[in-house]
Amino acid sequence: MKMMRCLAAIAGLVLGASASVSLAGNGDGYGDDDIYIGETTNDTIQRCDIQRGSCQTFVQSQAGGLRGPRGMVFSGSRLLVVNQNVNQPFSGEVLSYNGRSGEFAGKVVSSGDPNPPYAPRGIVRGPGNMIYVAEFGLETGPCADGHIRKYDGRTHAWVADLSIEGFVADGKPGFHPRGLVFGPDGYLYVTAFGCPTSVGAEYDPEAGYVLRFDPRTDKFDKRIVSHLKGAPLLHRPEGILFDRKGNLWVTSFRKNSGDKTQLDVLLRIDVKRQTQSGFIPLGRSEYDDLKHYRTSAQVIVMGPKGDIFAPIARGPTMLGPEGYTISPVPGQGEVWRCSPESGSCRTVVRGGALTNPWYAIFRFSDPATLEYMDD
């Protein structure tokens, strides 16, 4: 409880404690559809029933060259999937799959095209059928900046890289975008952080930013918050979405990844006031006596009834007090459903069906705002 009081003092408001996460039963009355999740351990897309907690493979392992599934959106009858091409000697891609069968349907952006995304993460489809991809960077050096790449959804041609002129980093320079979403004001919101490579002179593992871009001009508009200005719990963010009340939520990680007294959180941000306004902690305090225990979510997606769905990614090895390995890590591979109102979370998919889930999407997710549309 000492740790939780400390975090509350920093954030101002703790919305809920995930130590009391409960397992959802079957038939809870919601008209939910399935959630589609990128499984990074076997390069598949899994389709999970959030009523029964069961999963089945929707896109087969490495179908169409899929090696490192990242961001996803449904675009008409197709499922667009960012392919990072992990451990491959070429850039990333955007792949297309049949939205009903999961069969490979072609490449929207190929690694051989002009200006492919080198290390892509998030994706959205914005106004004018434009596709935006967050490209993490590092192509030409250990701290080389990333890009937000814009492609024509009809012709699949590269259109532009959004300009970051005017963005000034706090502390060490660096622009490495990860997640992106269109806000209710029509602007593009982006999570980013500093240089992630420890061999780089500009290495800055604590940095975190939420930035806003104007899609009409393809230019940087303003910084909403950073780890040093307005949001002290914002570190290495990725997942990003707006809830129904206009609050911005991002996934945020420990300031120091090796410090077991810190928690990974879902961080709530007041865009107008440019400050963090609360958070949902993802750790379970009863495991504090164990070394390196973590419960973290790489990304989040808005789902039925305005709830936030968080696939719980695989953390580092957890060691017990005597130094022995405890397996599996509690929470790993689960999908949590969290209320942005109360901050309480419950498990809708148990670990085992998934191992290391990252990006997720619903069929009814708006491809720009990621808002769940079928309520």
**Of the given ranges (168-172, 280-284, 358-362), which has the lowest mean pLDDT?**
280-284
- Contact residues for 86 (Cβ-Cβ < 8 A; gap 6+): 67, 68
pLDDT band at 313 (very low <50, low <70, confident <90, very high): confident
Alpha-carbon distances of 166 from 169, 251, 304, rounded to whole Å = 10, 25, 38
pLDDT band at 93 (very low <50, low <70, confident <90, very high): very high
CATH classification (class only), 2-362: mainly beta
Sequence ranges of the domains in the chain? 2-362
> What is the structure's pLDDT at 256?
80
> What is the structure's pLDDT at 226?
97
> What is the structure's pLDDT at 186?
98
Q: Are 124 and 133 within 8 A, CB to CB?
A: no
- How would you classify the pairing of strands 308-313 and 301-302? antiparallel
- CB neighbours of residue 181 within 10 Å: 27
Which tokens sit at 297? 């979510």
Q: Are 59 and 323 within 8 A, CB to CB?
A: no
- Max CA-CA distance within the chain? 59
pLDDT at 23 over 70: no
Mean pLDDT (whole number) for 118-139? 95
Coil/strand/helix, residue 63: helix
Alpha-carbon distances of 219 from 6, 150, 162, 187, 188, rounded to whole Å = 38, 12, 5, 11, 10
Predicted TM-score (pTM) of the model is 0.88
Instruction: Say if residue 328 is preceded by a cis peptide, omega within 30 of 0.
Output: yes
**Of the given ranges (20-24, 77-81, 370-374), which has the lowest mean pLDDT?**
20-24
Task: Give 225's Cβ-side CA count (13 Å radius).
Answer: 25
Q: Are 100 and 49 within 8 A, CB to CB?
A: no
Q: Which residue has the higher pLDDT, 103 or 284?
A: 103
Q: Average pLDDT, whole number, for the chain?
A: 86
Alpha-carbon distances of 337 from 35, 103, 234, 276, 302, rounded to whole Å = 11, 28, 21, 21, 10
Mean pLDDT (whole number) for 95-119? 96
pLDDT band at 18 (very low <50, low <70, confident <90, very high): very low
Task: Compute CA 133 distance to the chain's CA centroid, rounded to the nearest angstrom.
Answer: 13
Q: Which amino acid, 48?
A: C
Between CA 254 and CA 252 the distance in angstroms is: 7
- Per-residue pLDDT reduced to its tens digit, 26-70: 343 333 489 999 999 999 999 999 999 999 999 999 999 999 999
pLDDT at 112 over 50: yes
Which tokens sit at 116? 């492919």
Q: Where in 187-237 does DSSP place strands (E)?
A: 188-193, 209-214, 219-226
Alpha-carbon distances of 349 from 13, 37, 238, 318, 355, rounded to whole Å = 28, 11, 22, 22, 11
> What is the structure's pLDDT at 329?
59
Between CA 374 and CA 353 the distance in angstroms is: 26
Coil/strand/helix, residue 9: helix
